[in-house]
Amino acid sequence: MPISNAQSDAVSQVDARMPKLSDWCATLFEYGETAWREYQSAAWYVERLRAEGFTVEEGSGGMPTAFCAEWSNGDGPVIGMYAEYDAVPGNCQAASTRREPREGLGYQAGGHTDPHSGLGISALGGLLATKAAMEKHGIKGGLRFTGEPAEKVRGSKPIHAAKGYYDGLAAMLSFHPFYMLPMCNTVRWETHCGAAYSMIYRFICDAPEAWGRADGAPIPQSHSAVRAPGANDALMTMYQSSKVLREAMLPHQGGWSVSEAILTAGQATADNLPAGLAEIQYMMRVPTVEMAEQITAVLDRNAAAAAAMTGCRVERHWVCKSRPGLANHAMADVVWDALQEVGAPIWDEPAKAAARAIQGNLGLDPMDDPFIDELSQLIAPQEAEAILRQDLPPSQLNSTSDDYTDMSWHAPTARFYIARPALKPVTGAAYPPWVMNALGGMPVTIDPMIRTASKVLALSALRLLEDASARDAAMAEFRDRTGGGIGGADWVAPLCDYDPPIHFRWPEYVTTARGRDWWIPSSQPDA
């Protein structure tokens, strides 16, 4: 369908702002801050949004690195978008064609993998282009833009959802960079992402002298006394037992996973004292909440047994409880129309030259066309859905996980993907992870994605603002699928019943007398 004058102006706005958007993305890429510790990144967005005329609440939902920005052009529908900006520990990579960390850091520092630096700036580009078009053409309504920290641990969106930050929206637009087929340059149709639970088990050994002793038994010598194994042994028992039982937790059908990360261990002050504190985090990605509850029950039992064996007590702290996603075909149609109007991203000769330089630095023969062909092609949502379903049992309604799903229970939501740069495979070789990270940071390779995604977001938002029939169709489908909207018979309420898990030993940058560094000093070996 033909685009409106406002939409046409928004496209021009994105093109005009591309130099700034490119610079802003490079800034966020360099910050490389990780979950719950995105201080510079969040502050940058808050300052930028206020400069653009938005009213901004800092620390929204009790999360220091979250925010909620709003702007209104009068009474009317409100459209939601959002930024993510957390990076991943152990992925520090410069925006370079060779493997090297960002200046002054080691490889163990944070780095953008997805990249959320490009995700957030694409969303900001679409937001600002929409705002400019609304002002120029007198379009009534508003915009809400949330800052979503800790996405890699599914952190902020369940909390924002439970606290009402997505309520009252006419629609929510969710964009993510992607390259894995078939979900590339398309919109999710019926099969949305599934549930995700994550928790931290904290083992504390605060009475080691009581382990294994009869009541009133004396301690003959402090160094030879019976003492508890301690928190490190509890953690290792938990780690090993849960790995052993993983295959028995759920049947072998559909896509699901359980992974773990050790956060804190040790705390002993002498070699004859047991460790007093150890923490391990689990993340599960499953199609349904019921499956997540089953796995949690097994992990709880393992934790209790590990604590009892080692003279510890155990605490369970939630990191996230995220619902599976809710489809909305009317919303998907709106975004698919916009994506067809904009077209897929195209990488020009300078981008290809950078990609060839990477291949050459890896000792590979550079290709004339180094990027995957499908990255510059569109695929219809229904066609992508059919391919996706080939690997799933008919009874499975959701697959993999991402916490945008919590938004989908509060407003009609579209989830779409624009291609990020990725290189064609080479027979007999595999690209190391730093290659994808570098491609996501170099302006010449990531800018085509930003330009495309910003335009799709702006066209979609303006269509929903200007076209009441499209907006009404999306809301009618939302109400039908939830049995009446928020609070309806088929609506799934927020699962979040916990405070933001911000007080744990999350990896972060630190400043000492030696200067600013990652919490693992860069002087240590990179292996």
Please give the Cα distance from 141 to 104 (Å, whole number).
Answer: 46
Lookup: tokens for 16: 């005009």
Reply yes or no on whether the pLDDT at 385 is more than 90. yes
State the pLDDT confidence band at 527, using cuts at 50, 70 and 90. Answer: very low
pLDDT over threshold 50, residue 286: yes
Q: Which residue has the higher pLDDT, 252 or 354?
A: 354
Task: Quick: pLDDT tens for 50-62.
Answer: 999 999 999 999 9
pLDDT band at 423 (very low <50, low <70, confident <90, very high): very high
**Mean pLDDT, residues 82-100 taken together:** 97
Residue 99: count of CB within 10 angstroms of its CB: 17
pLDDT band at 215 (very low <50, low <70, confident <90, very high): low
Is the pLDDT at 254 greater than 80, yes or no? no
Residue 498 pLDDT greater than 80, yes or no: yes
Predicted local confidence at residue 248, as pLDDT: 81
> Mean pLDDT of all residues in the chain?
93
Q: What is the CATH number of domain 5-193+325-393+401-479?
A: 3.40.630.10
Q: In what order do the strands lie in the sheet with 313-322?
A: 257-264, 277-286, 195-204, 313-322
Contact (CB, 8 A) for 459 and 453 = no
CA distance 277 to 313: 10
* pLDDT, position 264: 76
pLDDT confidence of residue 271: 64
Residues 6+ apart with CB under 8 A from 396: 253, 254, 255, 287
Which range among 208-212, 228-232, 253-257, 260-264 shows the weakest confidence by mean pLDDT? 253-257
Tell me whether strands 413-419 and 186-187 are parallel, antiparallel or unpaired.
antiparallel
The kind and range of the H/E element at 273 are: none
Q: How confident is the model at residue 269 (pLDDT cuts 50, 70, 90)?
A: low
Give the model's confidence band at 513: pLDDT under 50 very low, under 70 low, under 90 confident, else very high.
confident
pLDDT of 278 > 90? The answer is yes
Closest CA to 257 of 283, 296, 239, 290: 283
- pTM listed for this prediction: 0.94
CB 407 within 8 A of CB 161: yes
3-class secondary-structure state, position 304:
helix
Q: Are strands 413-419 and 78-84 parallel, antiparallel or unpaired?
A: unpaired
pLDDT at residue 270 in the model: 63
pLDDT of residue 216 exceeding 70, the answer is: no
CA separation for the pair 369, 213 (Å, rounded)? 71
Q: Residue 525 pLDDT > 80, yes or no?
A: no
Residue 188 or 229, more confident = 188
Residues 400 and 392: their CA atoms lie apart, in Å, by 11
- The DSSP bridge pattern shows strands 78-84 and 55-58 to be unpaired
What sign does the dihedral 69-74-75-79 (CA atoms) show?
A: negative
Options 3.30.70.360, 3.40.50.10490, 1.10.3720.10, 3.40.640.10; CATH of 196-323: 3.30.70.360
Phi, psi at residue 462, to the nearest 5°? -70, -35
pLDDT band at 218 (very low <50, low <70, confident <90, very high): low
In order, the DSSP letters of 426-469 are BTTB---HHHHHHHTT-HHHHHHHHHHHHHHHHHHHHHHHH-HH
Average of per-residue pLDDT across 466-479: 98
Instruction: Say if residues 114 and 378 touch (Cβ distance below 8 Å).
Output: no
Residue 265, pLDDT above cutoff 90: no
| CA–CA dist 419, 345 (Å, integer) | 7
Kindly list the domain boundaries of the chain, sorted by start residue: 5-193+325-393+401-479, 196-323
Q: What's the confidence (pLDDT) of residue 428?
A: 84
The length of the chain in residues reads 527
Tell me the mean pLDDT in the region 444-470: 98
Q: Among candidates 306, 311, 319, which has minimal Cα distance to 235?
A: 306
Q: Report which DSSP code applies to 405.
A: G
**Confidence at 219, pLDDT banded by 50, 70, 90:** low
Average pLDDT for 68-97: 97
DSSP 356: H
The pLDDT of 71-95, averaged and rounded, is: 97
Helix or strand holding residue 266 (H, E):
none
